[in-house]
Structure formats: structure tokens, C-alpha cells
Amino acid sequence: MIVEEAAAIERLRPHAHEGSGPHGGRYPSIVEAIGHTPLVEIPRMSPNPSVRLYAKLEFLNPTGSVKDRVAKYLIEDLERSGRLRQDSIIIEPTSGNTGIALAMIARRKGYRVAVVLPDNVTQERRQLLALFGAEIIDSPGSQGSNGAVALAKHLVARDERFVMPYQYGNPANPRAHYETTAEEIIADCPEVDVFVSGLGTGGTLVGAGRRLREHNPALRIFAAEPMPGENVQGLRSLDEGFVPEIFDPTILDGKFLVSNADSITALRELTEKEGIFAGVSSGGAIVAAQRVAAGMERGTIVVVLADGGWKYLSEQVWTRDLEAGADELESLNLW
């Protein structure tokens, strides 16, 4: 009891680095406003009073996800390479968020965008893609994002108008996180000991992880990975046959398998206890961070919350009976 009280007092004590960070600001366009997201402590979600848990709120990016950072770098990479012609159509396989971000930025810059995505993604994602003017090409939902990748590659080979930035193999993806996400974390939380993120393309883990480890060579990096067989949006199981080219598994100190049910339970608790309305993949990342925290003596963890909860409202994530619908949860496309 004395140890817990001491930890609580220490948590309330102000630290020199705390306070407002390099957020907000004034920008010439919405594209330049990407990033600069806040880092917020979520003490009620930490299972260990001696471990401080901070959430990087990436759903506060302009289109509501961490993929805004990547999409900006992908399009700028195409511009620098000279691959875009007057009749070019930017095409990208996506589970939704990258496509939405590409569509917003492309509309601002005057480019056409087509996205290939599973036909069973949430309606909110489809509506946002349409709102930003993206042309939607459906791939079989049963094949998840792997099917979207295969179809996009097929289309690029058949029509020279299509130009694919290809987030799964483009170094611009991890570079976005190396140069922006990690730098923001270092500025706001220089004492970070552990970095946790969901495993999707691998860009966040590899890019931010490398820069954070340069800052702190003792830093540990963990991934949240979906259970094999569960259809997910945004995260992927490496056991299902497709490993993104940009992903370097040697950067990881470990990974945690998390289920849809675990993730939904965590995101509900995040909303109830901390007032943070995040998406299902964020719940999975929280679960992984909690498992790391439970085994630590003390320290500081930063976990990335990739997108917001409002893109999942149509799936009744906050009202669904998790016990009664356990089998149904395995087939939901929520990440």
C-alpha cells in the first residue's frame, strides 16, 4: 500500500519536460498541418502504478489516422521521382485509412486517386473515400488486404496510367515516421523506455522504432498482431503469407497476439476510463502495452493510437455483446 501511494504521489509531481509541446501552429494548407499530434498520459489504463503509459493520438490528424503522415510522404515521393504525368491515376491497395489520406491530399494537390480495398470494410471508410473523390475498386473481402494488394498490382501491370506508391514496399513509409512521429515523441517524452504500435505495413514500428532507438539504445519495441484467421483492417498477421517489404522483424523485441474481443474490450475501457474515443486497432495496441507494463518494474511506455472510433460506429463496437457474439467477432473487419 505504501508503494502504491508513493507511486501515486510521484505521478502527480510535475516533470520539467511536461507541458505543451510543438503542437498546433499556423500552416499554409491542411497538408502541412499533418502530424503534430499530442501525447497524452492514460494512467487508468496502466496495470502497473510504477509504469507511466502515454498514448500518441494519431486520430487527431486531418483525416483521422496515422496514415496521413505516410500518404503525404508517398505523394511527395511520387512528385520528386517524376512518375506522375498529366493522365496519371494514383492507385493504392488499402484497408481504408491510407486510401482516405491519399484521396484528401490528392484532391488538395489536383491528382486523381483510385483505391483498391476489401469489399467488406466499414461504411464510414467508403463514405470518406467518396467524399474526397476517390475511385473505389473492390477486392474480395475474404482475402483481406492481401487480396487488395494482388488486385492493385494486376491493374498496374495492365494500365500504364496507374501509378502505385505502394505503402508496403516504399521506404517513404517508414521515413515518414522516422522524421515526424519519432521526433515528436522524443520532444514530448525523452524518457521513453518502450514503444508499442500495431503491426500493419510495419512503417510505424520500423521508422519510429529506429529513430527512437537512436535516441535511447536501450529502448524496447513491441508490436500488436491480430490473431491468425481474424479478418482485420489496418493490422496483419505475418503468419498469413504476406510480409511487407519495408518490415524489418529484427527491430522487434517481441509481439503480442490480440483478438478482436480483447481489442474491443480495451477500447471500451479507454473511452470509459480516459475519455478517449479510439479505433479497434488502438484497443489492440493498448492490450499489448498493458502486457508489457505488467512485466516491468518501472518505466515509461508510448503506444500509438492509429485512428479514431467514429469509423467503426456502424459495427456497433460499443454496444455489441462480446460474450454472446464471440464467433461473429472473428469475422468482423474492424482493425
DSSP 113: E
pLDDT for res 9? 41
pLDDT for res 19? 55
Contact between 167 and 153 (Cβ < 8 Å): no
Taking residues 72-84, report their average pLDDT. 96
pLDDT for res 333? 54
pLDDT for res 147? 87
Specify the residue for cell string 460506429. 313
Per-residue model confidence as pLDDT tens digits over 220-269: 999 999 877 655 444 555 555 568 899 999 999 999 999 888 999 999 99
Q: Which residues are catalytic?
A: 67, 281
Q: What is the mean pLDDT of the chain?
A: 87
Per-residue model confidence as pLDDT tens digits over 123-170: 888 999 999 999 999 999 888 778 888 999 999 999 999 999 999 999
Q: What percent of the chain has pLDDT over 90?
A: 68
Taking residues 181-208, report their average pLDDT. 96
**Alpha helix stretches (DSSP H) within 260-300:** 260-274, 280-294
Q: Among 56-60, 122-126, 276-280, 303-307, which stretch is predicted with the lowest mean pLDDT? A: 122-126
pLDDT for res 228? 72
pLDDT for res 25? 83
The backbone torsions φ and ψ at residue 234, rounded to the nearest 5 degrees and listed phi first, read: 100, -35
Q: pLDDT band at 12, cuts 50/70/90? A: very low
- 257: helix, coil or strand? strand
pLDDT for res 3? 46
pLDDT greater than 90 at residue 186? yes
Per-residue model confidence as pLDDT tens digits over 34-46: 999 999 999 999 9
pLDDT for res 234? 46
For residue 88, count other CB atoms closer than 10 A to its CB. 15
pLDDT for res 232? 44
CA dist 255 and 279 (Å) reads 20
Domains and CATH numbers, the chain: 2-62+171-330 (3.40.50.1100), 67-163 (3.40.50.1100)
Structure-block grid coordinates of residue 207: 521508422
pLDDT greater than 90 at residue 200? no
Q: pLDDT band at 107, cuts 50/70/90? A: very high
Contact between 256 and 224 (Cβ < 8 Å): yes
* Strands in 140-242 per DSSP E: 162-163, 194-198, 220-226
pLDDT for res 112? 96
pLDDT greater than 90 at residue 335? no
Contact between 29 and 108 (Cβ < 8 Å): yes
pLDDT for res 130? 93
In single-letter form, the type of residue at position 201 comes to T
